[in-house]
Structure 1
Amino acid sequence: MATSATLTTTHLSTFRNILDEWHQNRLKTTPTKGFLVPFEELQQSPKKDALKDVIVAFRTRPPLPNEAAEKFHADPDAQDAAETEAAPVEFCSGITVTSAEPGVFFAHVPGMKWSGPTLTHKPYEADLAFGPDIGNEEVYQRTVVANDMLSLVLSGGVGCILAYGQTGSGKTYTMESVEHRVARDLFDQARMVGKRLVLAQGGAEASDTEAGDIFEFNVTFLELLGKHATDLLESTEEVDAQGNPVRTEIAVREDKVGNVRPNLISSVIRTSEELEELINKALSHRRTSATLRNAASSRSHALLTISIKNKLLPYADEGQLILVDLAGSERHEDSKDHDKQRMEEARDNNKSLMNLKECVRAKAKMAAEDGFVHIPWRSNKLTMLLKPIFDIESRQPSRAMIIAHVSPHIQDSVHSTNTLSYAAPFKTIPPKPRGPAPYDAEDPRTWDHAKTVEWLTAQFTAQAMKSRQADYNVRARSAQLAGKKLKPLEPPAPGQLDLGVDVAKICPEGERAKNLGMLYTPQFVQRCLEARVGEAMTVDKLKMVAVEIIGKLFYLILTAKTKKRNEIMKSRKKLVVDDAYGDAPRREEEYDEDEFLEAQIFWGTDWQKTVIAAYEQWKAEGRDWTNVGYPQTVESMMMKFREHKAAEAAKEEVYDEGNPEGKEKEEAV
């Protein structure tokens, strides 16, 4: 049985001895593992699992000076309380990092048995594990930079970073550092991506390109307190009884086309300094309240959303970077002194966190399976705001990073296990390699290189024919105005149509449609610009054509995935029904489903009463109900139903014969 923080402090010396013995035994067999790549070489080393949809990281902070003595106290009624009170309460670690990458945390959970205090050592796995000696810069580099989050959002994808954990475990400290470092690096990264696009279309030199010339950045900052959403960028002087600012509530719902876009203040930013200033302003407006675990605990979820529009590719999807500092979770011992309003806030926060857990777990499962996986993102306002991450019908590539924070103290180990148990299932193992899928002309994932080149050639040919026809129509119209008539447009000779691009450069040897489908839209456009030949298409025309073609490819892939999931779902439902109930024991060759349903409606509740009565009688007599009794009972009721239908039909016929005038009027109408 797990112990409370007070009882753990009472037996702290015993737990410390048990923990020291465990450390010694562990180091004899399993040394502590560090990160695969040293921090100094991190930026030059590609990350193997950078393409994972969900990345999980654990983090624990160092203890603060005098924190253990101020927050934890012994039980005054315990037998050895006098000894404990005589000695000062010192820090005892409740978390041990045994491996940094892949990450492994051991939570040391105190317990009590008849023989005395005990410790249970529970392991939890993640992609990364940050111990108390890891600084914010390294956390940022190994999460955001190593997983290419900035390039993802600048290329039209959606990136999301969530900080979760117990109140006072360091979530806000981590997220604020990530937000400020994103502000520091975002514009430099945008400048690099923009330079490549400009050079690919033969534009200005790289040194002449600014991030603001290529991208437009819009920022919103939303606070979700329980069920109520407000805008952190709204200025107000009105305050409530606790001294928190009172703001207008924002509605969170889907619009006509299915987008979730709250009516927030959207600020256009052009420099890192402007973004830094906006973040500081919004964070100063966030609600905080004192709790037993934290004097300035964040009582709400804060969502910073940076939307990025590519001016060079106006038809491409907007990228989004969503940084979420979740409200701190609390156990009953830490929240029992809350007032009614605070308890309601804690309840709503816990509901939203549970909904978020289901959505993230489903997304991680979907990434590892080909079958249908339902993501219940409409269940809560928090997950609705994160729709771009969870919507399975979205064409945008997305990536989510979960950073679970735990307290370093052994008195908080029980809560730490809850946090780690919440986040650990999000970690997914890459699917095992499978054999090649059977060829499907409608599924680009099964195409080989030749088929991919053929499809691309057909797409560019269609665009070239469309342009050729448009030019002819213009010339024909001009000739008609001049009183002349042009000859009909003849189809081009084989190999004479100028496509404007070298398809072999867009899809080099060895690549397939599946590889092209993994590219971001700007990357595909860049390939097309680099493959441009001749003057058949202008740069602007080629960019529009490239966006349209890659959009068609994305649509084919999405349609094939949806079709596959639907087929799996249908087969799964059929299998479950057949295994559970078997085939219906009635002779379906004598009547179809529509007639059978019509008969049940006619009989109403008498249908089931008759079947149940017959079942009891046949079972009591020991006769075969399934193969004989049930078919006979149903057949008897079906015969009576048919007799009733025949009698009704005869009445209608008699009525029609005796009233021919009415029948003629009815037919006329």
Structure 2
Amino acid sequence: VANEESNKLSEIILESRKGLELRNNKIIEKRLLYEYQLKQIQEIYAGLKAEENTRKDLHNQNLDLMGNIRVMCRVRPYTDKEKEIEQVSLECFDDKHTIQVSTKRLRLWQMQIEKSTYEFDHVFNTSADQKEVYLELSPLVQSAIDGYNVCIFAYGQTGSGKTYTMEGNVNSPEKKGVIPRSIDEIFDKIEETNKLGWNFEVYVQYIEIYNETIQDLLIDEDKDRKKSCKDRKKSFKESKDLCKIVYNEDTRMTIIENAERLKISKKKDMEILIGKASNRRSKSSTNSNSVSSRSHGVFILHLEGENPLEKMSSRGSLSLVDLAGSENIDKSGSVGDQMTEAQSINKSLFYLRYVIQQIKDKSNHVNYRDSVLTSLLKYSLGGTAKVCMLVNVSPSTDSTNETKKSLSFGQDARKAHVGTAMRNGCA
């Protein structure tokens, strides 16, 4: 009896083992199938990613060939006050190219939602940080090192985050803007090119356009600055003591006469310089912005490289422009000098829009000389430079009308043909 029970138990154990082995084999098969499918998914994803990168490269090459202005859009975050009372009026799509604005309209005695959609080369939503923005602009900075003229300018209404985008906080690694990050990258790249026999010299100019006059922000002493800028209210053409714009038709480059052109060899020296120059910019407080720039800030890096071994040279420039904000005078509460400043700002921005519209329409004659700003940007907008426009907008429903105007201008600017970028230098 004991033997029979033992045999039965052995059979049960054997059957159980067979069942376990069978289930284990099925588990192994499923795991192998899962690993195979996962590998296929990863390969498909890698292929799609490679295709996207290729598409992006081809897209940029196509833009270079067409000579179009690249336009990106950045939506600044809500302020604490706006978070309490705001409803969402802006939507940034996941494709990072599309933004939609919702506006309430009263039609036939009924409130309706009107949606306007805009497309750009890149859209940064409210959560985008300074690093993310700069990574999209970095290839243009590399182009300046390679010998191209590059112009990046920030456009938008007052209080939309232009100065933060362009300058940020020089003393904070996370909050550094386009200007200090460009400087970091340029000096890092120059150090790399030194190993290949290149010797680069970096020169900087920093000016502001205030009430249609050019002011040099690199003049050290206040008394010297006052002496060279005797009368801020004189027009650009009338004042002989102010900096002047001169064109070099052969090189198709703009020269700012009487403006300091300082040679810089260290990042730290440049950061100190930016800090001092930024503090000299004309600013004041308005209802729309507690620290409103009352001038267009133009920061220019001249990059001159020589490679004696290869008998090559390179001449590139990087112009970083922080435009003063377009302003609704009634809303901002500007009076007196502030009103004069606002009118001058709005006028120069009008001529910028007008010039870009003329370029878009392929006009036989483009009126660059109607304002100091467009005169300064002549060879960027109508020459052989690589140009990128950063449209900065506010997410506030209170700013919806101004936001739509900025987005419409940016979308139009994207269609403007500014010429094919050409490298400066010789081999």
Q: TM-score range by the shorter chain?
A: 0.7 to 0.9
Query: d(CA) in 1 for partners of 2:103 and 2:223?
Result: 45
Aligned to 1:129, the other structure's residue is in SS state: strand
Aligned to 1:351: 347
Q: Is the 8 A contact 1:99 1:129 kept in 2?
A: no
Kindly provide the amino acid, as one letter, of the partner of residue 324 in structure 1: V
Aligned mates of 2:48, 2:282 — CA distance in 1: 39
- Say yes or no: does 1:380 pair with 2:371: yes
> Aligned AA for 2:246?
E
Partner of 1:235: 220
Partner residue in 2 for 1:159: 150
Q: Which amino acid aligns with 2:401?
A: V
Deviation at 1:116, TM superposition (A): 4.5
In the alignment, what sits opposite 1:306? 301
Per the TM alignment, residue 59 of structure 1 is displaced from its structure 2 partner at its CA by 1.0
Q: CA deviation at 1:519?
A: 7.3
Structure 2 spans left out of the alignment, 5+ residues: 1-46, 168-176, 230-241
**Could you tell me which amino acid in structure 2 is paired with residue 291 of structure 1?**
T
Which of the numbers 368, 375, 380 marks the counterpart of 1:389?
380
* Aligned partner (choices 412, 425, 428) of residue 415 of structure 2: 428
Higher Rg = 1
Query: What is the match of residue 398 of structure 1?
Result: 385
Change in CA separation of 1:354 and 1:316 when aligned onto 2, cut-off 3 Å: farther
Is contact 2:306-2:314 (8 Å) kept?
no
Cα distance in structure 2, aligned partners of 1:257 and 1:55: 25
Q: CA deviation at 1:222?
A: 0.3
Q: Secondary structure of 1:310's match?
A: strand
Deviation at 1:223, TM superposition (A): 0.7
Residue 150 (str. 1) matches residue 130 (str. 2): no
User: Could you say if the C-alpha distance between residues 404 and 521 of structure 1 is closer, same or farther in structure 2, counting changes exceeding 3 Å?
Assistant: closer
What is aligned with 1:660?
none
Find the aligned partners of 1:168 and 1:42 in 2 and give their Cα distance: 35
Say which structure is richer in strand: 2
Name the SS for the 2:60 alignment partner: coil
Is the 8 Å Cα contact of residues 329 and 342 (structure 2) preserved in structure 1?
no
Per-residue deviation, 1:110:
2.8
Note the 1:383-532 alignment, pairs <5 A. 383-392=374-383, 397-428=384-415, 520=423, 525=427
Matches within 5 A, 1:332-343: 332-335=329-332, 337-343=333-339
Which of 56, 70, 80 is matched with 1:65 structurally?
A: 80
1:226 alignment counterpart? 211
Counterpart of 2:170 in structure 1 is none
2: CA distance, partners of 1:315 / 1:254: 27
Partners of 1:365 and 1:428 within 8 A in 2: no
Matched position secondary structure for 1:283: helix
**1:167 Cα offset (Å):** 0.8
Q: Write the distance in 2 (CA, Å) between the matches of 1:164 and 1:195.
A: 38
Classify the secondary structure of the residue corresponding to 2:278: helix
Residues 190-227 of structure 1 deviation map (CA, whole Å, 9 limit, x = unaligned): 2334544x3xxxxxxxxxxxxxx611111010011121
Q: Is the 8 A contact 2:159 2:288 kept in 1?
A: yes
The alpha carbon displacement at 1:326 in A equals 0.2
Q: CA deviation at 1:256?
A: 8.0
1:90 equivalent in structure 2: 85
> Do residues 49 (structure 1) and 64 (structure 2) align?
no
How far apart are residue 362 of structure 1 and its match? 4.5
CA displacement at 1:150 relative to structure 2: 2.2
What amino acid is the match of 1:185? E
1:609-655 CA distance string (max 9 Å, x none): xxxxxxxxxxxxxxxxxxxxxxxxxxxxxxxxxxxxxxxxxxxxxxx
Give me the whole-angstrom Cα distance separating, in 2, the residues matched to 1:283 and 1:157. 26
Stretches of structure 1 lacking an aligned partner (at least 5 in a row): 1-35, 69-88, 199-212, 240-244, 367-371, 431-516, 526-669
- Is 1:171 the counterpart of 2:162? The answer is yes
How is 1:573-612 mapped onto 2 (pairs within 5 angstroms)? none
1:278 shift after superposition: 1.4
The separation in 2 between residues aligned to 1:47 and 1:364, in whole angstroms, is 24
Structure 2 counterpart of 1:416, one-letter code: T
Aligned AA for 1:248? S
Residues 290 and 238 from structure 1, CA distance in 2 versus in 1: closer, same or farther, beyond 3 angstroms? farther
Matched-pair identity in %: 26
1:352 is displaced (CA, Å) by 1.2
Report the Cα offset of residue 375 of structure 1. 3.3
Q: Which residue of 1 aligns with 2:233?
A: none
- Number of residue pairs aligned between Structure 1 and Structure 2: 347
Higher relative contact order (CA 8 A, sep 6+): 2
> Partner of 1:167: helix, strand, or coil?
coil
Contact preservation (8 Å) 1:234, 1:265: yes
Whether contact under 8 Å (2:91, 2:99) holds in the other structure is yes
Q: Is the alpha carbon distance of 1:164 and 1:42 closer, same or farther for their aligned partners in structure 2, counting shifts above 3 Å? A: farther
1-structure distance, mates of 2:296, 2:178: 16
SS at match of 2:142: helix
Contact 1:377 / 1:390 at 8 angstroms: preserved in 2? no
Equivalent residue in structure 1 for 2:120, among 107, 111, 126: 126
Name the CA distance, whole Å, in 2 between partners of 1:137 and 1:172. 15
**So what's the TM-score if we normalise by structure 1?**
0.48
* CA-CA distance at 1:58 after TM superposition: 0.9
**Cα offset, 1:363, TM superposition:** 4.6
Q: Deviations over 1:248-288 (max 9, x none)?
A: 33232336868542311111111222222211121111111
Any idea what SS the aligned residue of 1:168 has?
Answer: coil
Residue 138 in structure 1 maps to residue 127 in structure 2: no
Cα distance between partner residues in 1 of 2:90 and 2:126: 10
Q: CA RMSD in A?
A: 3.2
TM-score, structure 2 length as denominator? 0.73
Which AA in structure 2 matches 1:230? Q
- Please tell me whether the aligned partners of residues 365 and 373 of structure 1 are also in contact (alpha carbons under 8 angstroms): no
Which amino acid is the alignment partner of residue 276 of structure 2? K
Counterpart Cα distance in 1 of 2:163 and 2:193:
30
- What is the match of residue 325 of structure 2? 328
